[in-house]
Amino acid sequence: MADPTHDTALRVDSLGVSFQGVTALQGVSFSVPAGGVSAVIGPNGAGKTTLFNCISGVARHLGTVELEGRDLSRLHADRRAALGIARTFQTPLLIPELSALDNVLLGAHGRMKGGLLSSILRPPPVTRAERAMRARASELLKRLGLHHSQDHRVDSLPHGDRRRVEVARALIAEPRLLLLDEPAAGLGADEASELLADIEEFAAHTGMTCVLVEHDVGLVMRVSRHVVVLDAGRLLVAGPPAEVAADERVIAAYLGDDWSEVEV
């Protein structure tokens, strides 16, 4: 297992990805401190989702990815997940016909022996391990404010609740590193702040590290320990929010005049 006492959660070095000759990421290197919430920002097409695809092992890449000091670069996505990387997707990938609880349980399949999917699809009796995992899924939904909807089909839930189900599904794997790709997309400002506050609290409670992509720069600067700025597939700057906010290149290349409005 990765070393949980490490003070750097994630380190990437010289990451590069091309799609049919088009460079999506090039020479990207940075570290993220262990614990709490950090963020990746950048304009549309900057390479944020591609970066998450590299870290989680979904995309083939050049360069290295280290989780708590362990080199994962040569491992497939399922091994990286088993070693502690969980993620959500920019477009939620929930199974509409299943309940919120069963969707969360799908995130635990790597931790269950003997086919969790079949345990969702077949009637009781379930094993003791399955019961324990159901209780855990229920607890997570409760902590995210969804205990009243756990048995509802996800396609009947409001958009914000579906986002929370996705987060719960990633959390049930008890990740060391949680990657959230625009978890607050489509939410109102208050709902987005509440969701990020819940994620922050969860990270503080469990010691996991969360890295999120978020377009609301003000929100990012309020919740993040460390901010990584990508621009056109390259790292522009990475550092504490106040440092990033003061960086001339960030102001010029990405944030423009609106930046002066953001309090950090």
Ligand X SMILES: Nc1ncnc2c1ncn2[C@@H]1O[C@H](COP(=O)(O)OP(=O)(O)OP(=O)(O)O)[C@@H](O)[C@H]1O
The full DSSP string for 91-149 is S----TTSBHHHHHHHTTGGG-SS-HHHHHHSPSPPPHHHHHHHHHHHHHHHHTT-GGG
Binding part of the chain for Mg ion, among 74-82, 89-97, 109-117, 161-169 by CB under 5 A, reads: 89-97
Binding at 50: pick from ligand X, Mg ion, none (beta carbon under 5-8 Å per type) = ligand X
3-state secondary structure of 215: coil
Binding part of the chain for Mg ion, among 29-37, 82-90, 119-127, 249-257 by CB under 5 A, reads: 82-90
Is 90 a residue that touches ligand X (CB under 6 A)? yes
Nearer to ligand X, 130 or 182 (CB): 182
Q: How far is the CB of 97 from ligand X (least distance, A)?
A: 27
The full DSSP string for 42-108 is -STTSSHHHHHHHHHTSS--EEEEEETTEE-TTS-HHHHHHTTEEE--SS----TTSBHHHHHHHTT
Is 209 a residue that touches Mg ion (CB under 5 A)? no
**Residues 26-85 close enough to bind ligand X by CB under 6 A:** 42, 44-50
Q: CA nearest 137: which of 109, 163, 159?
A: 109
Phi, psi of 22 (to 5 degrees): -95, 125
Binding at 47: pick from Mg ion, ligand X, none (beta carbon under 5-8 Å per type) = ligand X
Candidate residues 15, 32, 49, 209; the one interacting with Mg ion per rule CB under 5 A = 49
| Contacts of residue 241, Cβ cutoff 8 Å, sequence gap at least 6 | 220, 221, 224, 225, 226, 227, 264
Nearer to Mg ion, 48 or 61 (CB): 48
Binding part of the chain for Mg ion, among 34-42, 84-92, 98-106, 192-200 by CB under 5 A, reads: 84-92
Binding at 46: pick from ligand X, Mg ion, none (beta carbon under 5-8 Å per type) = ligand X
Q: How far is the CB of 40 from ligand X (least distance, A)?
A: 8
Beta pairing class for 177-181 and 209-213: parallel
Q: CA nearest 243: which of 215, 219, 216, 224?
A: 224
Nearer to Mg ion, 40 or 104 (CB): 40
Q: CA nearest 227: which of 249, 216, 211?
A: 211
Q: How far is the CB of 41 from ligand X (least distance, A)?
A: 9
**Residues 124-163 close enough to bind ligand X by CB under 6 A:** none
Binding at 42: pick from ligand X, Mg ion, none (beta carbon under 5-8 Å per type) = ligand X
Number of residues that bind ligand X (CB under 6 A): 12
Spatial separation of the C-alpha atoms in residues 246 and 259, rounded to whole Å: 9
Nearer to Mg ion, 105 or 236 (CB): 236
Question: Which spans of this chain sit near ligand X (rule: CB under 6 A)?
Answer: 19, 22, 24, 42, 44-50, 90
